Structure 1
Amino acid sequence: MKHLPLLLLLVIFAACQGSGTKTGQSDSAAVNSPSDTASGVTYSGTLPCADCEGIVTELTLQKQPDDRFTLKETYQGKNQTFNSEGVYTIVHGTPADPAATVIHLNPNKDKNLQRYYQQVNENELLLLDSDQKTIQSGRNYTLKKVL
């Protein structure tokens, strides 16, 4: 019994070590804050569309048990909704900003199924193009955190 406090301390330490981030990942507050890890964090907004009124987009990131996402895209005026899910990684750097934090959806799938969102701040993500560059347009490519 006298070793129980030490054993508990070792278990807590081991659990903390196992929850660290992977190489090339950040500990971004928007993705990893304690209140967000259990239920996930959701970002929402209407992104531009080439042949419709806009794409109502809802992205949910869940840290536990694995880094998983769900993405719902509804094309306005077309009555089409596309749902997808998979894994994501958090990586540092873009061609324009080496300090940027980027959420990379479907990193192990075909390039056409991958998406990149740069974390602007704790409450906002910016959709990047397939080369992880800012989309040059006067249109809004941001998703806001749903509170």
Structure 2
Amino acid sequence: MKYLPLLLICTVLAACQHKGSSGVADNPDNVAGTDTATWVTYSGTLPCADCEGIITELSLHRPPDTQFKMTETYQGKNQTLRSEGTYSIVHGIPSDPGATMILINPEKDKNLQRYLQQVDEHELKLLDSDQKTIESNLNYTLKKVL
């Protein structure tokens, strides 16, 4: 009987710490709508050699979980590609040893990898396959979706 108040306090504390699931963050297909504390989404239209542009949405799970989901919609081609996998954070690129780079698909063939330099906390810039800035007047950036 003397332990009853302690048991009640522990039960209340445990109940307060339990986080209910809204279903949004638990649904991996709904990345853009997930909790911003867990996922960060970047979006933009990247250049395309044989279409009007590639509408790109890249969602990165915050570390330590390094999962990504990407949707690329080719304008004028009625084609959408979805991919997912892992990414890694790399410090330093050939042109800037102090830069931070996101490496998409680090464990896969180089042809399936993507390199994105973090310009600031709201912007990523696509790099070429040699991890160098793409010299062009075209827009190669993805902006953070707020």
TM range (shorter): 0.7 to 0.9
Q: Aligned-pair distance for 1:116?
A: 0.5
Asked whether the equivalents of residues 72 and 81 of structure 1 are also in contact (C-alpha less than 8 Å), the reply is yes
Q: Distance in 2 between matches of 1:52 and 1:84?
A: 20
Give CA-to-partner distance per residue, 1:80-127, whole Å, 9 cap, x none: 000000000001111100000000000010111100000000100000
1:132 — aligned with what? 131
Asked whether the equivalents of residues 73 and 82 of structure 1 are also in contact (C-alpha less than 8 Å), the reply is yes
Q: Aligned-pair distance for 1:37?
A: 4.0
Q: Distance in 2 between matches of 1:98 and 1:74?
A: 33
Q: Aligned-pair distance for 1:63?
A: 2.3
**Which structure has the higher relative contact order (CA within 8 Å, separation 6+)?**
1
Q: Distance in 2 between matches of 1:43 and 1:71?
A: 10
User: What is the TM-score normalised by the length of structure 1?
Assistant: 0.73
Q: Distance in 2 between matches of 1:145 and 1:78?
A: 26
Q: Distance in 1 between matches of 2:76 and 2:36?
A: 33
1:8 — aligned with what? none
Structure 2: gaps (5+ residues) = 1-34
Alignment: residue pair count = 112
Give the AA of the match of 2:123: E
Asked whether the equivalents of residues 37 and 64 of structure 1 are also in contact (C-alpha less than 8 Å), the reply is no
User: What is the TM-score normalised by the length of structure 2?
Assistant: 0.74
Q: Aligned-pair distance for 1:136?
A: 1.1
1:100 — aligned with what? 99
Determine what percentage of the aligned residue pairs are the same residue.
71
Q: Distance in 1 between matches of 2:63 and 2:91?
A: 21
Over the aligned positions, Cα root-mean-square deviation in angstroms equals 1.3
Give the AA of the match of 1:73: E
1:19-98 → structure 2 map (5 Å cutoff): 36-38=36-38, 40-63=39-62, 66-98=65-97
Q: Distance in 2 between matches of 1:97 and 1:37?
A: 29
The structure with more radius of gyration: 2
Structure with a larger share of its residues in strand? 2
Q: Distance in 2 between matches of 1:113 and 1:37?
A: 28
1:8-23 → structure 2 map (5 Å cutoff): none
Q: Distance in 1 between matches of 2:106 and 2:131?
A: 13
Give the AA of the match of 1:51: D
Give the AA of the match of 2:45: T
Alignment partner of 2:97: what SS?
A: coil
Alignment partner of 2:111: what SS?
A: helix
